[in-house]
A and B are shown apart, each in its own frame.
Chain A
C-alpha cells in the first residue's frame, strides 16, 4: 500500500512538476483560476510558488482586497493619556496591531508627553512627522515642516493627510491654518479680517515631489465671518474627510472648509440650519456610505437626540440635509457598573505604557496600572457580532454620548456612552449594538468625557509606500 501511494506521488511529481506545469499551462489559463478565489485563498495561492505569486501580482488580483474595505477598529485618544489606543474586536489570528512599536526610535518623542498628532486617511497615518501604515508596518519620515505662513499669535496649522490608494500610492499632507483659541496680544486688524481669507495659502507636502510647497486656493462664495467672530473655544475634534478629490476640514465654529484639490478652489460650508453652537459637543464630521455626513447629539435634558445630516449639492450650493433624527435614550440598555461585559471589542492598551517606558525617566514599573501589553488576544469567535440589545429595561440618567466615528462603508455611527461602552448605531434600522468596554484602565481626566479624538481605522494592505527623496 505504502509503496503504491509513494509511486503515485512520484508519478504525479514527475508529471506535474512546477516547471513543467508552467510550460504546459499558459499563464492566462492559470490566471482564470485565481480570479475565482476568495481573497484569503488568493493570498495563500500567492505563497504557493513563484509562478503563482507572479501571476497574482502581475494581474493585480489581490488589489481590490488590499485597498481599505473594512473597519478593523477605532483609534481613541484620551485627554490625559500619552498615546492613542485601538478599540477593536480581537481576532485569534494575526491582525493589524494597534501598537506603534514598528516606528523607529524617537518617532514619537517630539510630542512627548502629549499624545502624537495623528491623522488617518484610507489606511495611512500621519503621526507627527511620520507617514506610516500600521498594516504593512512601513513608514517614512517627512522633511521638517516649514514655519506657519500666518501670524502665529492668531493662527496655527492643522495637519491633514490625503491618500487614496485606489487612485495613487502618493499622498499629500496639508497644513491648514486654523484660528488659535485664545491669545492676549491680538492685532485688531487681523481680528476684523475675513475668515477664511479669499486667497487661502497653505503648506502642502507631496510625496510625488518629496517637498513642501505653498498652494493658494481661491474662495468661491462667502467667508464664514471674521477671525474674531469665528474663533471658537477649544476645538479638539478637528476631523477632516477626503472624498472624491476634495478635502473637507471641520473648522472653527462648526463650518467646514471644502478644498478642491484639482481646481485650486475652496468653499465654506455653513453648519446645518438650526444647529446650536456649543463648545462641548460640536458637530462630528465623517464619511460614510453615500458621501460626507455630520452628526450631533443633544443629551442635555432627558432626551438624547441624535441628528445626522448628509451633504448634498442643491442648485450649485452644498447644503446639509437632515437625514436621520431620533431619541436614542430609550434604546440604550440598562447601564450596569458591575458588569462591564458590554461586548467582544476591547481597548488594546499598548501604546501609552510602551511610550512611557521609552520616554519617561521616572517610569515606575511597579506602579504601572496600564501595562496590559497584549498584541493579540484570544477570543471566542462564536461571539462574533457583538451583543444585540434585546431587553428594553429603560435607562438611568447616565448618557454622555460621544461619537467614535462614522462607519465609512455602511450607514452606521459608532458611539460611546460615558466613554465606557462602545456601541454601533444602525441608521437604517435605528438599532443599537453593544461593541465592548472602551474605558481605559488607570487614571483618566474627565470622568464622563475623557475621550478627545477618535477615528475608525480601515487598514490598507498595499505593501508599498513611496520613498521620499
Chain B
C-alpha cells in the first residue's frame, strides 16, 4: 500500500532513493548518485527505491555502503555531465585529491570496497581500488606482496612452489 511514486513531481528537489545495507541500515541518497552503480541504475529507472520502499543490498554492510555512497555523491555531478568534458581543471584536481584520500584506508575496508564496487558495478570505483592495490604491490618481492595482501606465511610446499615460479621469469628480478 505504498504511496505511488511521485517521480518528477518533486518540485525541483532531486529525486531520492533508499538503499538498505545487509545489517538493515537505511541510506537515503540522490538517485543520480546511486545510479553510478550499473546494478542499481535499472531498478532506479524503473522507479524502484523511492518512497517507503528501499533497495535491499544483502551483500554490502553499512560501513562499506556509507563509504561507497561517499564516493558516489562526490562523483555524481561529474558523471551527470557525461564524463564532464567541460569540467574545469580545478574540479578535476579536486576529484583526484578526493580519490587519493578516499583509498587511503585500512586493507580490510579496501577489500570490502573492491567487493562492493564489483557487485554494484561502479566502474570508476572499481578502477580506483584496483589501482590502489596495484600501487601497494609495485616494486615488492613476492614475499612482501603476500604480506602486503595479508596472506599468511607460506607453507614449505607453497614456498617451494614460489621459488620454482620465481625461476621461470628471471628477468623480473633484474
Contacts and interface: CB of A to CB of B under 8 A. Distances in A.
A21 interface: yes
A18 B137 CA distance: 16
Interface stretch (A46-54, A156-164, A215-223): A46-54
A37 interface: yes
Interface stretch (A87-95, A288-296, A416-424, A440-448): A87-95
B165 A17 contact: no
A92 B174 contact: yes
Given A40-B172, A47-B162, A13 B150 contact: yes
- Mostly helix, strand, loop or mixed at chain B's interface? helix
- Mostly helix, strand, loop or mixed at chain A's interface? helix
Nearest to B119: A26
Interface stretch (B23-31, B72-80, B108-116): B108-116
Contact of A18 (B133, B152, B169): B152
B165 A47 contact: yes
B127 A32 contact: yes
Nearest to B136: A33
A39 interface: yes
Given A15-B108, A17-B151, A49 B169 contact: no
Contacts of B169: 43, 46, 62, 461
Contacts of B114: 25, 29
A361 interface: no
Contacts of B139: 41
B151 A16 contact: yes
A15 B150 contact: yes
B174 A49 contact: no
B3 to A, nearest CB: 38
A12 interface: yes
A25 B150 contact: no
Among B137, B142, B161: residue with most chain A CB under 10 A: B137
Contacts of A40: 171-174
Interface string B127-149: 10011011001111110011001
B158 interface: yes
Contact of A33 (B107, B137, B173): B137
B15 interface: no
A38 B151 contact: no
A45 B111 contact: no
Contacts of B173: 40, 44, 93-94
Given A29-B118, A46-B165, A49-B146, A24 B111 contact: yes
B62 interface: no
B126 interface: yes
A272 B4 CA distance: 83
Nearest to B162: A47
Contacts of A48: 142, 145-146, 149, 151, 162
Contacts of B158: 49-50
Contacts of B108: 12, 15-16
A33 B134 contact: yes
B145 A44 contact: yes
Contact of A16 (B117, B149, B161, B171): B149
A401 to B, nearest CB: 32
Contacts of A46: 165, 168-169
B170 interface: yes
Contacts of B141: 44
A254 B127 CA distance: 55
Interface residues of A, number: 40
A32 B150 CA distance: 19
A38 B138 contact: yes
Given A26-B118, A28-B118, A12 B107 contact: yes
A463 interface: yes
A469 interface: no
Contact of A17 (B107, B145, B152): B152
B166 interface: yes
B142 A29 contact: no
Contacts of A18: 151-152
A244 interface: no
B60 to A, nearest CB: 13
B127 A37 contact: no
B161 to A, nearest CB: 7
A12 B168 CA distance: 30
Contacts of A49: 146, 151, 158
A185 interface: no
A44 B130 contact: no
B118 A47 contact: no
A60 interface: no
B162 A94 contact: no
B138 A37 contact: yes
B138 A94 contact: no
Among B118, B165, B173: residue with most chain A CB under 10 A: B165
A327 B158 CA distance: 60
Contacts of A39: 172
A40 B137 CA distance: 11
Contacts of B126: 29, 32
24 contacts: A13-B151, A15-B108, A16-B149, A16-B150, A21-B151, A25-B111, A29-B115, A29-B117, A35-B130, A36-B134, A37-B137, A38-B138, A39-B172, A40-B172, A40-B174, A42-B172, A43-B168, A45-B145, A48-B142, A48-B146, A49-B158, A53-B165, A92-B174, A94-B170
Q: Closest 6 interchain pairs by CB? A: A16-B150, A43-B172, A94-B170, A93-B174, A43-B169, A36-B134
